[in-house]
Amino acid sequence: MFLISDLLDIQALSESAELEFKLAQGVDGKGKVPDDFWRTYSAMANARGGYVVLGVREKRGNFTVEGIIDTATVIKQLFDIANNKKKVNVNLLTEHSVQCVSLGGKTIVVVEIPSARREQKPIFLNNQPMAETYIRRHEGDCHCSEEQIRRMMAEQVEDSRDDKILTGFDFSDIDQDSLRAYRNLFTAAKPQHPWLEMDIFDLFKSLGGWRKDRQNGTEGVTLAGILMFGTWSAIQDAAPNYFVDYRERDEAQSDARWIDRLYPDGSWSGNIFDFYRRTYRKLITDLKVPFELQDGIRLDESRAHEAIREALVNTLVHADYTGRSSILIIKRPDLFGFRNPGLMRVPPEIAIKGGESDCRNRRMHQMFLMIGAGERAGSGVPKIISGWKWANWRTPKLYEKTEPSEQTLLELSTVSLIPREVTELLDALFGERFHQLDDFERMIVVTAAIEGWVNHERACQLTSKHSRDVTLTLPKLVDKGFLVSSGEKRDKSYSLPGMEPPSPEDVFANALSAAHNLTHSGSDLTHSDSDLTHSELNLTDSHQGRDGNGRFIHELLDKPFIDDLEVLSVEFRAYLEDLTAPSRAHRRLDTEAMKDLLTGLCNGHYLSVSVMEILLGRKSQSIRQNYLKPMVDAKQLKLAFPNKPNSPKQGYTLS
């Protein structure tokens, strides 16, 4: 439980997606568990847990403590309904889950809703798993899709997703060259192992590539065997969504171009093992090995090498190969990026601490362990963090995304932890006070200095602390003068005093002429899901401050901004309309073709979504979710105001 001592705590905690306030007065005003509490219960339990505060009125961001008069009755209602299987399929509440807190002479009830274990999900209501299963999305409770629910059910019953025996597959579906190459690595790692005396098929069986079900007597190739060593045709039949992709770029910020790429193109097997050994070699090609001795022998690898190998193995063995995302590995001068389909079975903050493991593909993990790759018992992420700390690089970012599909991402930045110029800046701004902060507070301030800003989500990625602790730390740093805040609630960001990045309000000093037409929503971390109901969004009240093409110019922006088609020159507007004609002419356009259009459309300037809506002939919500968001995530596009990702005044340009 966390402590709430006054309204300031409530105001601060209101910024967290893991907190919900409900009035809970009931008809008689004495208190009643509101009906929509259980929707929030399901949503938080299926996500990362959270808290519901009963007895607080929230209106437009302002909070009033109304209190609960009859707390005993409310608490009894909570447990009576939670134990009613007809209402909720699993009761996660205990006597320690409920706390009564007195504020200003009034009593509120704080209910802690834990995250359900994998074996308990989905948490649903009214005996209707497909209709009444919810998930927490930022500050709202949303229906789970049928695909999400079926995935939860599969995760519930399958401890190891790669353990199942595949009907219709046999040893001929295994790439023999891959298996022999694996045996060579196995021999090098464990030269005295008795399995090395077996023939190739018996070794394959011992590794878990072939299994017999002792209950029904069936036996055959496992999913692990096919994914790890299979031929491309066999993998496609066993896992239709499977795809592995390595991309190398020579610039930190660039478009979709790459200097090297590895993906199943028919020139190699396409299986996990071959992808691992080919990709690992590419990842470490330019990694320096400092002179270091162990027992008098020079080491050929550094701890950074070990961290990269662990990150790659983690990505491959924790992936949900039924998911819609692909395995994606990125190498850039400034970072290594790893993405796998599926959310983490262990919450990121627990994985960072280490000691708890729940591998999704345990047989594949064992196969990697036999050749000296991978770590047991939940020590993989701590080893990655330790290796990066050894290299004095910035703290890795481990986080999850649920849109457009469930995926886990790990970013290993090769930027120095605290560059000398940043240290000098912080000393000049704060002097000795900066060094008196605790480690986490210093990390937040340093991140704001290096990246220009920090928000709640980014701060959570820097630590294993609970989200609520992060929520309370940020306003404390503001009070101490280390940070200044801008924005409201989920759109709030923090920066160093006097160094605030430009906001839409700074750039567009004049109010939106059509602001009342906006139906903005902040339900997505990177983009608004709202639909703009107008098509002529004019961000300025005059044509002043525009270039020869009619694009808006401001000293705080590094490029012109196209906010209104009506003020563009005839020639330039015609050029944009010709460029986007295929989108207006064809209701269905290939995704890559649409991305190519957006790449051309956003070249050389920022472009508002309302203008894209007209030029492309597509709804703004569709443009954001299907194209802009993935392209921003892939660093193909960048935002005009990255510290205000949900702003309705947002613009997009090439990275």
| C-alpha–C-alpha distance, residues 54 and 67, integer Å | 8
| C-alpha–C-alpha distance, residues 340 and 317, integer Å | 9
Cβ atoms within 10 Å of 622's Cβ, excluding its own: 14
**Cα four-point dihedral sign 456, 459, 461, 464:** negative
| C-alpha–C-alpha distance, residues 40 and 598, integer Å | 38
Q: Cα 554 from chain centroid?
A: 33
Structure tokens at 156: 């519930």
Phi, psi of 299 (to 5 degrees): -80, 135
Beta bridge partners of 148: none
pLDDT at 171: 96
Q: What is the pLDDT of residues 89-141, one digit of tens each?
A: 999 999 999 989 888 889 999 999 999 988 899 999 999 999 999 998 766 78
Phi, psi of 454 (to 5 degrees): -145, 145
**Mean of pLDDT values over 362-381:** 85
Amino acid at 501: P
pLDDT at 13: 62
Q: Where are the alpha helices (DSSP H) in 68-167?
A: 71-82, 146-157
pLDDT at 590: 84
Amino acid at 87: K
**11 in Cβ contact with 62 (< 8 Å):** no
Cα dist from 649 to 451, 452, 535, 607, whole Å: 22, 20, 13, 10
- 533 has pLDDT over 50: no
pLDDT at 207: 95
Q: What is the pLDDT of residues 48-89, one digit of tens each?
A: 888 899 998 877 667 788 899 999 999 999 999 999 999 999
Three-state DSSP state, 142: strand
Reference 230, options 169, 289, 287; nearest CA is: 169
**Mean of pLDDT values over 426-455:** 88
- ∠ CA 345-341-176, nearest 5°, is 105
Cα dist from 554 to 495, 605, 641, 652, whole Å: 21, 12, 13, 15
| C-alpha–C-alpha distance, residues 460 and 371, integer Å | 34
Beta bridge partners of 595: none
Q: How many residues does the chain have?
A: 655
H/E stretch holding 46 reads helix 37-46
Q: What is the pLDDT of residues 570-609, one digit of tens each?
A: 999 999 999 999 999 888 888 888 988 999 999 999 999 9
**Mean of pLDDT values over 434-457:** 87
- 331 has pLDDT over 80: yes
Structure tokens at 118: 């994998």
pTM higher than 0.75 for the full model? no
Three-state DSSP state, 279: helix
367 CB contacts (<8 Å, ≥6 apart)? 182, 207, 208, 209, 224, 228, 273
**22 in Cβ contact with 36 (< 8 Å):** yes
- ∠ CA 24-30-35, nearest 5°, is 30
